[in-house]
Structure 1
Amino acid sequence: MGMFGFFRSAGMAAVLFLATASPAAAEGATATDAGAVAGTTLSIGELYRDKSLIGTTPEGYSWAPDNDTVLFLWNDEGYSFRDVWAYSARTGEKTRLTFLGRDSDPEVQQAGIAQAVMLGEGRVAFTLGGQLHIREADGSISPVETDKRAIRKLAVSPDGKWLAFVSGNPVDTRNRVTLGGVLWVRSIGERSDIAARRLVSSDDPKVYVQDYEWASDGKAITFQQSDDRAMPERDIYFYADGELQNNRVIRAFPGDETTRALVGMVSIASGEIRFFDRPDPKHHVWDYGLSGDGERLFISGSDLEAKEHTIYLYDTATGERETFYQLREPRHLRPDWQVDWAPGDDGLIILTDRDGWLQLYHQRQAGETPRQITQGEWEIEGFAVDRATNSLYFTANKSHLADRQIYRVPFTGGEVERVSGAAPGTHQPVYSPDFSRIADWYSSDTMPPELFVIDTARPGTAERVTRSPQPDFYEQTWADTRYVEFPSHVDGMNLVARLSVPANFDPNRRYPVIVGSVYSDAVRNQWGGRRSHPTWGLDQYLVSQGYLVISVNVRGSWGQGRDHNQTQLHSYGETDINDLESGVRYLIAEGHADPDRIGIWGSSYGGLMTIMSLAKKPGVYAAGIAGAPATNVWHAYPSQMWIMGPPEGDDMPERYEAQSALYQSAGIEDPLMIIHGSRDPVVLYSDTIALAEAMIEREQMFELVTLPGAHHGWDLEGLPQTRFSFRKMVEFFDRNVKNRK
C-alpha cells in the first residue's frame, strides 16, 4: 500500500540475514575479485543502456489448455520490445513465435505486444498497440477486429470455443477522459473476417467493463462494471513541446464521489444480463466468483475506509442475496482479502487477517465461524484452488519476510508443503489449468527476473526457460544485499530492513548512507528490491561509490501482521518516518554509518516521508530528494482514507494537516531536491508549486527539477529521462551527503 498506489530482534544486536543464491543465480557470481572493488564499474549511462544489461524481463505468462505449453513475452537480446514465445514443458523446447521486434517501423516498436493467449491448433491471439492479431500455425499474422481500439484482457473460454476481450468504446466523441470498456466474445472457429459479438457495453465511456471471469462451463461470463459518471473531472495544465497543454482526467479527492462498481453475469447464448445489487454500490468490490455449477455467486467487498469486510452470496437464478461473512475492524488498513470457492463448491476459502496474520480459512455456511486452515506468524499474499486434488496453492513469506515462496496445503488442513525451491527470493506463479505445472516468475537479490517452470509432482525442482542478462552482466561485481532486524526506537516494535553494502564492505568503517527509496512494502528479495521504479542501477551505482543503501519495512506494510501495520492509522509522516529513523540509528549504533552523512529519498508516498523526515527530524539527514511528493493529502486518492480517515469529524482539519508535508514543511533546514513531472495526474504538480511558494516565502532553500510533460512514474518514461533524473540525484547526494564538509 502507500500514498498512491500500496521479524524479531534482541536489543540493538540485530540479526543479519544474507540471502543464499539459487543454483541458477550462481551464474551471477562475478569473475572480479570482490575484495578489491566496491561494486560495479559502470556509469549511470552504461547501467541504463538501450540494450539492457540485465536483459528483458519475461512477462505475460499464459498456459495452453493442454497444460504443456506456456506462452510468454520476452526479448532474448535485451531490447525493450517483447515478442511472443512458447515453451513446451514436455520437450523442453523454447520457440519464438513472432519477430515483430525486428520490424523497423517505429510505430510497431512503440506499440509493443501486451498479451498473448493460445487459441489451439498452433494459433495464438495477441494484442499489438491495442489491436488484436492472430498468428496462424504456419506463422502468418493478420490483424482482426480492426474497427476496435484499446483491446485488452484476452481470455479463452474453458471449453476452448470462445475468445473474450475488452475494448474501448467504438464511438467516443469526447476522446479525452476514458476509452471506456466493452466486453466482446469471438468464436475461435470463425474466419478472421467474422466480427466479434458485443456482450456488455454502454453509450457512456465513463461506464465500462473493468474485468471479467469465464464460468467453468464456458456458457456465461461474470463481470464487474465500473461507473465513473459521478466522479469529478479535473484539468491538469502543463507546458510541453513549446505550448500549453491540458491533461483532463477523472480524479477524485477524499470525500468526493468515487467509482461505483456493479457485478453482473451475461449468457453467451442469449446475451441476457443479470446484475446483482449490493446494499451500497459506492462500496469497494475486491473479489467476485461464480460457483462451479453456476448456481451461486459471491461478491467480496468493503466500505470505503476498508474497515468492514463483507461477503454476499447470491442465487444466480433469482438474484436473492444473503450476507455470508462480515467482520468489522475499526483500525483495519489494508484490503488484502481474497476469496474463492472451495473444492466441490463447499463454501468459500477466505484469505483474511482476522487472527492478526493473513491466513486461509474455510467457511461452509452463512454466518458460521470460519475454520482456520493455515496459521503462523507469517502472511499469505495470494492463493489458488486446485479442485481436482482438493489442494490450496499459495505464496507466502513463511521462510522470511522478504521472500515470496510457493506452498500448498490440503483443503482440509494439515502440513504445509513448499513447492518452490530452497533458495530465497520472490516467486510469482501462474498455474496451468490442472495445476500440474507452474510458470514461475522468479528473482532474487542476486538474479534478475527469469521464467522457470515447476513440475508440481516434483516440489523443489524447476526448469529454467529464459536467460535474460547480457554476458557483461556476469563480469561485474554487484552489491552484497542482506537483511537486518532491529527494534523501533519509539515503541520497540521489531523492524526489518533490506541493506545493500559494497562487495568489499568493511564493518569497522563508517560509510555515507542513503535511506531509500522509501515506501511501504519496500523490503523484497528480488533484483533491485522494488519493481515499480527502475532503481536497481541507481542503487548499484551508489553502492559502488561507497554508499550503504537501506530500505525499511515501515508500518502500514504487508508481511509482519496486523499489530505492525495498524499502528500506521492516521499516521502518514509520523510512525513511518520514526521507523526510517530507527534504521538510521541501527546503522550508527553498529558503527557502519557516518551520522553526518545520511541521505534520504523516495517518490510519491516516499516523497511525503522524505519531506516529513527533513521537516520533523532536522539534522538526522544531511539531505533529501522527494520525487513527485504527495505533499497535500487533501488531494490524495479516496482510497488513502484507509489510513488517513475521512475528511470529516471533530479532529479536522488538524488530522489531515498533520499528515500533509505542505503544512509541516516550516521545519526544513537541510538541503532538499524535488523532482516532479508537470503532467502528473496522481500527485498534482500544483501541490509541488504550493510547497515551493510556501518555502520561498519563508526563505527556505531548495532545488526543483521539473520534467516537462512527465507523468507520475517520472523515472519510467524513456531512458534519456531516467538517466537525466538519476544523474541529477547522484550529483545532489554526492555534493550534500558523501562530500559534505
Structure 2
Amino acid sequence: MNKVGLFRSVGVALALALSSTAASAQDRPAPHAPVHGGAKVAGTSLSIDELYRTKSLIGTTPEGYSWAADGDTVLFLWNDEGYSFRDIWSYSVRTGKKTRLTFLGRDSKPEAEQKGIAQAVALDRGRVAFTLGGQLHIREANGTVTPVETDKQAVRKLAVSPDGTRLAFISGNPVDTRNRVTLGGVLWVRDVTAKGGNAARRVAGDDDPKVYIGDFQWSADGKAIAFEQSDDRAMPERDIYYYAKGGLQNNRVIRAFPGDETTKATVGVVTLASGDVRFFERPNAKDHIWDYGLSNDGKRLFVSGSDMEAKEHSIYVFDVASGTRETFYQLREAKHLRPDWKVAWAPRDDGLIILTDRDGWLHLYHQRAAGEAPRQITSGRWEIESFAVDGKRGQLYFTANESYIPDRQLYRVPVAGGAIERLSGAAAGTHQPVYSPDFRHIADWYSNDTTPPELFLIDTAKPGKAVQVTKSPQPEFYTQTWANIGYVEFPSHVDGTNLVARLSLPANYDPAKRYPVIVGSVYSDAVRNQWGGRRAHPTWGLDQYFVAQGYIVLNVNIRGSWGQGRDHNQTQYQSYGETDINDLESGVRYLVEKGYADPRRIGIWGSSYGGLMTIMSLAKKPGVYAAGIAGAPATNVWHAYPSQMWIMGPPDGADMPARYEAQSALYQAKGIKDALMIIHGTRDPVVLYSDTIALIEGMIQREQMFELVTLPGANHAWASDNLPQARFAFKKMVDFFDRNVKNRE
C-alpha cells in the first residue's frame, strides 16, 4: 500500500461520516477535500495577518451555555460577525428561535472588554443576570440593562438557586487596602426580584484576600450552599520584575515551588436562614480537593481529594448536622499520574457514582456505602472524561472516546448498568455538553478537524439527531482550501507501546515527495478531533499556514495524555524529557519510514511543558531535528507548580537533586547543537523568564548558538495576549523554520 493509501485508509469523508453508523477505530479521520475546482492546491492562500485578524475568519466561538430553570431556553455568549466581543443570545427549544438579547458590543472598549460578557444566567420573567468587566448587570425583559452591586469588584460564578428565587455569586473583597496580590473571594446572595442597588447579602468569606472562596454549589432545596475555601496565607509571595511601557514593572504573585507551603483547602456549608457556617476538615488540609457535593436531602456532604502527588484518592462523607466524618472510598496507586477522578451523588442519595481508573481505564462505578466494593457500570479499553446524573430517570450521561481515541462523543447508561447508548450520532469529533435541568435536551459545543466550534441542540429522546443553532465562520472561510487532517498509529521505537498522532497533510499531497515536517505544538493531550486540535491554544491558523507552505504537521499523543489507559501514561512517571520525547521521536521515525518526511528537514516546537520537550529533544537527540522553537519553556522543574509532583515526584529522597536535574532542560542543555529559538514573555508567572535567562547564560558560556524573542510584558499564554503580539511571534516562527528546516541546504 502506498503512503497516501496508508494515511487515507484510516479515514472516511465527512459527508459519509455524517450519514453512516457509529464509526469504528478504522473509520478515522475525516479528510477535507479541496473546495476549489481544477488542480488541488496546497492549502489556504491567506497570510498570517489574514488568518489572525480582528474580524475572525473562523468566527467567534459560542460559549457560556446556561439553561433556564424550565429547560425551554438556553443562553449563550456569541458574536455573529466574528468580532471578539460576546453578547448574550438565547435559543428556545419550543419555538426554535434564536434571539440576540444584548447589543453592548457596539459600545464596548475593545482594550478593556475585548472578550465581552463573561457569564449570563436566566432569572425570573425573562430577566437575565450577567457580568461585564467584572461588574454585575441585570437585563430586564424589555431590554433595559442596569448595573447592580456596583460596590463589588471581580463578580463571577453566577448561580441561581434551584427554586429560582435567589442569585448567588462570588466577588473580590469590597476594598483591597493592603495592595495584596489577590482580590480574594466572598460569597453573596441576592433576591432575584431585587431592583437595582446593592441588595446582596454576604453569606461567607474572609476579609483577608488570601483566604477566598473559589467555588460553590446550591443545595437541592435552595436552603444551603456548599463552598470551597482556600487559604494561601502560608504560601510565599514572589516579585516578577520586568521592563515594559517604558519603565520597571512588578507582577507580584502568590507562587509556591515544590517543597513550599501550599494552599490549605476546606469545604464549608452555610445555612442561609440562620447564617451559620460549618467547615468540614479532612485529615490533611493540604491535600487537593477535586470534587464535593451535598446530598439531595442536604444531610450529607462528600469531599473527593488526593494527596499532593495524586497517588491516593480518598472520598470522605460528612454528616452535615454533626460534622462526623467517615472514609467512604480510598485507593492508592504508586505510579498514578492524572487526577481525572469525578464524583456525584447517586439517584435518591443511594451512595456515590465514582469516575475512577481503578481497573486501568476511567470508568463509572456505583458505591452504595462506606467501605463497600464499588460496582462497575461501564467497562472497556476506552475512557470517560466527564459525567452527569439524571436522578429522576436513573441515567448517567457521559462523554467518552469509546469510538476512537481523539473523539469525545456523548452517551448514556442506566445506573443499574447495561448497554451504553450513543446520543451524538455517527460523525466524528468533540462534544462538550451542558444538560438542561430535566435532561431532555443538551446544549452541545461541537467541533471536528474541519469544522470550527458551533452550538448544537440535541433532543435526548431522539439520539443521533441535532439542530445547529449557530453558524460562526465568515463566508471567506468556505472558499479556502484547508489541510487534509487524519490520524495514524505506530509503535514506540523504545517499548512498542501503541501511539496515536494527528497528521495534517497539504491538500495537494504528492506521495512521490518527502516533505519538511513540524512536530507540534508538542504537549500532553495534543490529539483531539476538533478544529485546531488543541482548544486552549490559538495555533489553528499557524498550523494551516505551515501546511499551505508545504510542510506536514504532526501531533503525537505522548505518554501522560488522557484516553489510553493508566498503564499507557504511567510510564511518564518521573520522566519529564525522557519517555515523552521518545514518543515524539517515534512519530518522526514513522513518518520517515513511511516516506512522508525528509529526515533532514524536521522541526519541533512547543510552549510551556512543550518548550521543555523541545529543548530536551534538541539536547538529547541531536540531528533528529534540524531546529526547534521553545515558547515559555519550563526549563527548571524546581520552579514548577507543586501539583506537578504527581509526575516528577517530591523534591526529597536519596535520588535528589539528580532526579529533578534529569527532568530539567536547564541542566541538560549541553547537548544542543541544532538551531534553537526561545520565545518568552517577561511577565510570565507560570514559567519564570529568569529561568530562560539562566538557560541562555549557560549556553553563552558554552558558546552554543540560539535566538531569543523577548515579548515585553507578555504573560505565559503569549499567543493569546493580543493579536499584534501573536502575529509578530508567529511570523518570527515562520521565518525561523523556513530558514532552518524548509529551505535547509
TM range (shorter): over 0.9
Shift of 1:505: 1.1
Residue 640 of structure 2 is matched in structure 1 by: 636
Whether 2:76 is the aligned partner of 1:72: answer: yes
Contact 1:34 1:504 in 2 (8 A): no
What is the DSSP-based 3-state SS (H/G/I as helix, E as strand, rest coil) of the residue aligned with 1:579?
A: helix
**Match for 1:664: what amino acid?**
Q
409 and 166 in structure 1: CA distance in 2 versus 1, 3 angstrom threshold? same
Residue 21 of structure 1 is aligned with which of 9, 14, 19?
14
Contact 2:226 2:267 in 1 (8 A): yes
Contact 1:676 1:714 in 2 (8 A): yes
Could you tell me how far apart the structure 2 residues matched to 1:102 and 1:578 are? 51
Whether 2:454 is the aligned partner of 1:450: answer: yes
Residue 174 of structure 2 is matched in structure 1 by: 170
Please show how residues 583-602 of structure 1 align to structure 2 within 5 Å.
583-602=587-606
Residue 312 of structure 1 is matched in structure 2 by: 316
5+ residue gaps, structure 2: 1-5, 20-28
Contact 2:14 2:31 in 1 (8 A): no
Residue 399 of structure 2 is aligned with which of 368, 391, 395?
395
Shift of 1:73: 0.2
Deviations 1:144-203 (A, max 9, x none): 000000000000000001000000000211234001000000001222225100001212
511 and 29 in structure 1: CA distance in 2 versus 1, 3 angstrom threshold? closer
Q: TM-score when scaled to structure 1?
A: 0.97
Whether 2:185 is the aligned partner of 1:181: answer: yes
Whether 2:499 is the aligned partner of 1:506: answer: no
475 and 29 in structure 1: CA distance in 2 versus 1, 3 angstrom threshold? farther
Residue 488 of structure 2 is matched in structure 1 by: 484
Residue 701 of structure 2 is matched in structure 1 by: 697
Residue 680 of structure 2 is matched in structure 1 by: 676
Whether 2:325 is the aligned partner of 1:321: answer: yes
**Match for 2:506: what amino acid?**
P
The alignment yields a C-alpha RMSD, in angstroms, of 1.6
Residue 26 of structure 2 is matched in structure 1 by: none
Residue 203 of structure 2 is aligned with which of 199, 204, 220?
199
Could you tell me how far apart the structure 2 residues matched to 1:706 and 1:274 are? 49
Could you tell me how far apart the structure 2 residues matched to 1:21 and 1:116 are? 34
Could you tell me how far apart the structure 2 residues matched to 1:34 and 1:491 are? 46
Residue 582 of structure 2 is matched in structure 1 by: 578
Contact 2:84 2:114 in 1 (8 A): no
Deviations 1:654-712 (A, max 9, x none): 00000000000000000000000000000000000000100000000000000000000
Could you tell me how far apart the structure 2 residues matched to 1:26 and 1:338 are? 31
Shift of 1:35: 4.5
Could you tell me how far apart the structure 2 residues matched to 1:50 and 1:222 are? 41
Residue 730 of structure 1 is aligned with which of 731, 734, 739?
734
Residue 116 of structure 1 is matched in structure 2 by: 120
What is the DSSP-based 3-state SS (H/G/I as helix, E as strand, rest coil) of the residue aligned with 2:740?
A: helix
Whether 2:722 is the aligned partner of 1:718: answer: yes
Residue 153 of structure 1 is aligned with which of 154, 157, 167?
157
Could you tell me how far apart the structure 1 residues matched to 2:553 and 2:271 are? 55
Shift of 1:496: 0.2
Residue 441 of structure 2 is matched in structure 1 by: 437
Whether 2:256 is the aligned partner of 1:252: answer: yes
Shift of 1:114: 0.2
Shift of 1:104: 5.3
Shift of 1:20: 4.3
Could you tell me how far apart the structure 2 residues matched to 1:537 and 1:108 are? 25
Shift of 1:294: 0.6
Residue 547 of structure 1 is matched in structure 2 by: 551
Contact 1:347 1:362 in 2 (8 A): yes
Deviations 1:303-342 (A, max 9, x none): 0000000000111110000000000000000000000001
108 and 614 in structure 1: CA distance in 2 versus 1, 3 angstrom threshold? closer
Residue 135 of structure 1 is aligned with which of 125, 129, 139?
139
**Match for 2:565: what amino acid?**
G
Contact 1:676 1:685 in 2 (8 A): yes
Number of equivalent positions: 730
Deviations 1:606-661 (A, max 9, x none): 00000000000000000000000000000000011000000000000000000000
Contact 1:27 1:474 in 2 (8 A): no
Residue 611 of structure 2 is matched in structure 1 by: 607
Please show how residues 508-523 of structure 1 align to structure 2 within 5 Å.
508-523=512-527
Shift of 1:106: 5.0
Whether 2:528 is the aligned partner of 1:524: answer: yes
Contact 1:14 1:486 in 2 (8 A): no
Residue 664 of structure 1 is aligned with which of 657, 664, 668?
668
34 and 186 in structure 1: CA distance in 2 versus 1, 3 angstrom threshold? farther
Residue 227 of structure 1 is matched in structure 2 by: 231
Residue 374 of structure 1 is aligned with which of 370, 375, 378?
378
Shift of 1:26: 11
Deviations 1:5-61 (A, max 9, x none): xxxxxxxx8895326426599998653138420100000000001100000000000
**Match for 2:434: what amino acid?**
V
Could you tell me how far apart the structure 1 residues matched to 2:108 and 2:541 are? 29
333 and 19 in structure 1: CA distance in 2 versus 1, 3 angstrom threshold? farther
Contact 2:84 2:115 in 1 (8 A): no
Contact 1:29 1:474 in 2 (8 A): no
50 and 223 in structure 1: CA distance in 2 versus 1, 3 angstrom threshold? same
What is the DSSP-based 3-state SS (H/G/I as helix, E as strand, rest coil) of the residue aligned with 1:17?
A: coil
Shift of 1:135: 0.3
Residue 655 of structure 1 is matched in structure 2 by: 659
Whether 2:563 is the aligned partner of 1:559: answer: yes
**Match for 2:742: what amino acid?**
K
Could you tell me how far apart the structure 1 residues matched to 2:425 and 2:120 are? 28
Could you tell me how far apart the structure 1 residues matched to 2:111 and 2:386 are? 37
Shift of 1:507: 2.2
Could you tell me how far apart the structure 2 residues matched to 1:244 and 1:673 are? 26
Shift of 1:68: 1.0
Could you tell me how far apart the structure 2 residues matched to 1:568 and 1:264 are? 36
Shift of 1:111: 6.6
Could you tell me how far apart the structure 2 residues matched to 1:27 and 1:404 are? 18
Contact 1:627 1:675 in 2 (8 A): yes
Residue 3 of structure 1 is matched in structure 2 by: none
Residue 57 of structure 1 is matched in structure 2 by: 61
Whether 2:190 is the aligned partner of 1:190: answer: no
Higher relative contact order (CA 8 A, sep 6+): 1
**Match for 1:626: what amino acid?**
A
What is the DSSP-based 3-state SS (H/G/I as helix, E as strand, rest coil) of the residue aligned with 2:10?
A: strand
Residue 89 of structure 2 is matched in structure 1 by: 85
Residue 97 of structure 1 is matched in structure 2 by: 101
Shift of 1:67: 0.5
Could you tell me how far apart the structure 2 residues matched to 1:104 and 1:383 are? 37
Contact 1:483 1:498 in 2 (8 A): yes
Residue 421 of structure 1 is aligned with which of 420, 425, 439?
425
Contact 1:119 1:125 in 2 (8 A): yes
Could you tell me how far apart the structure 2 residues matched to 1:646 and 1:315 are? 34
Contact 1:20 1:423 in 2 (8 A): no
5+ residue gaps, structure 1: 1-12
**Match for 2:299: what amino acid?**
E
What is the DSSP-based 3-state SS (H/G/I as helix, E as strand, rest coil) of the residue aligned with 2:700?
A: helix
What is the DSSP-based 3-state SS (H/G/I as helix, E as strand, rest coil) of the residue aligned with 2:143?
A: coil
Could you tell me how far apart the structure 2 residues matched to 1:690 and 1:571 are? 22
Whether 2:36 is the aligned partner of 1:32: answer: yes
**Match for 1:17: what amino acid?**
V
What is the DSSP-based 3-state SS (H/G/I as helix, E as strand, rest coil) of the residue aligned with 2:571?
A: helix
Q: TM-score when scaled to structure 2?
A: 0.96
What is the DSSP-based 3-state SS (H/G/I as helix, E as strand, rest coil) of the residue aligned with 2:541?
A: helix
**Match for 1:613: what amino acid?**
S
Could you tell me how far apart the structure 2 residues matched to 1:499 and 1:388 are? 44
